[in-house]
Amino acid sequence: MANKKMSVSEMRSKKKESHGGGVARQAAGGELHQTAGGHHPALTTNQGVALSDNQNSLKANPRGPALLEDFILRDKITHFDHERIPERIVHARATGVHGFFELTSSLKKYTTARILTEVGEKTPVFTRISTVAGGAGSVDTPRDVRGFAVKFYTKEGNWDLVGNDIPVFFIQDAIKFPDLIHAVKMEPDRGFPQSATAHDTFWDFISLTPESMHMVMWIMSDRTLPRSLRMIEGFGIHSFRLINDSGESTFVKFHWRPKLGLQSTIWDETVKISGADQDFHRRDMFDAIAAGDFPEWEFAVQLFTQEEAERFPFDHLDATKLIPEELVPLKVIGRMVLDRWPNNFFAETEQVAYCPSHVVPGIDFSNDPLLQGRLFSYQDTQLSRLGSPNFHQIPINAPKCPFSNQQRDGHMQMEQPEGRVSYEPNSLSKNSPRESPVEGFHSAAISETGEKGRVRPESFADHYSQARQFYLSQTYYEQAHIASALVFELSKVDHLHVREAMVGHLRHIEEDLAKRVAAGLGFDKMPNAPRAASPVQEMKPSPALQIIGKMKDTLKGRAIGILIADGSDGALVKKIKKAATEAGAAVKIVAPKVGGAKLAGGSMMSADGQLAGTPSVLFDAVAIVLSDEGAKALSLESAAVDFVRDAFGHLKAIAADEGAQALLKTANIGHDAGVVSANDETAFIAAAKTRQWSREKSVRTLA
Residues that bind ligand HDE (CB under 6 A): 88-91, 94, 128, 130, 147, 149, 162-164, 169, 174, 177, 237, 319, 354, 370, 373-374, 377-378, 381
- Nearest to ligand HDE of 149, 184 (CB atom): 149
Q: Minimum Å distance from CB 565 to ligand HDE?
A: 44
Q: Minimum Å distance from CB 81 to ligand HDE?
A: 23
Taken in order 401, 402, 407, 411, the sign of the CA dihedral is positive
- Nearest to ligand HDE of 147, 567 (CB atom): 147
- d(C-alpha 80, C-alpha 72), whole Å: 12
**Residue 9 neighbours by CB under 8 Å, 6+ apart:** none
Q: Minimum Å distance from CB 166 to ligand HDE?
A: 8
Catalytic residue among 91, 199, 238, 281: 91
- Nearest to ligand HDE of 174, 493 (CB atom): 174
- d(C-alpha 454, C-alpha 477), whole Å: 42
145 within 8 A of 166, measured Cβ to Cβ:
yes
- d(C-alpha 422, C-alpha 406), whole Å: 5
Q: Indicate if 91 belongs to the active site.
A: yes
In the chain, how long is the greatest CA-to-CA distance? 91
What are the backbone dihedrals phi and psi of residue 124, each rounded to the nearest 5 degrees, phi first?
-65, 145
Residue 297 pairs in a beta bridge with 258, 336
- Nearest to ligand HDE of 215, 655 (CB atom): 215
74 within 8 A of 130, measured Cβ to Cβ:
no
Q: Minimum Å distance from CB 338 to ligand HDE?
A: 14
677 within 8 A of 683, measured Cβ to Cβ:
yes
Distances (CA, A) of 252 to 242, 320, 542: 7, 16, 20
Q: Minimum Å distance from CB 182 to ligand HDE?
A: 12
Catalytic residue among 98, 158, 164, 650: 164
Strands 331-340 and 94-103, sheet pairing: antiparallel
Crossing angle of helices 570-582 and 681-688, in 10° steps, is: 40
Q: Minimum Å distance from CB 371 to ligand HDE?
A: 7
Q: Indicate if 505 belongs to the active site.
A: no
- Nearest to ligand HDE of 383, 529 (CB atom): 383
Q: Minimum Å distance from CB 242 to ligand HDE?
A: 18
SS3 130: strand
Residue 159 pairs in a beta bridge with 152
- Nearest to ligand HDE of 151, 508 (CB atom): 151
335 within 8 A of 299, measured Cβ to Cβ:
yes
Q: Minimum Å distance from CB 224 to ligand HDE?
A: 14
End-to-end CA distance of the chain: 70
- Nearest to ligand HDE of 161, 563 (CB atom): 161
- d(C-alpha 580, C-alpha 557), whole Å: 11
Strands 94-103 and 122-131, sheet pairing: antiparallel
In the bound state, the residue with its beta carbon closest to ligand HDE is 147
User: What Rg value do the Cα atoms of the chain yield, rounded?
Assistant: 29
- Nearest to ligand HDE of 253, 652 (CB atom): 253
295 within 8 A of 337, measured Cβ to Cβ:
yes
| Active-site residue set | 91, 164
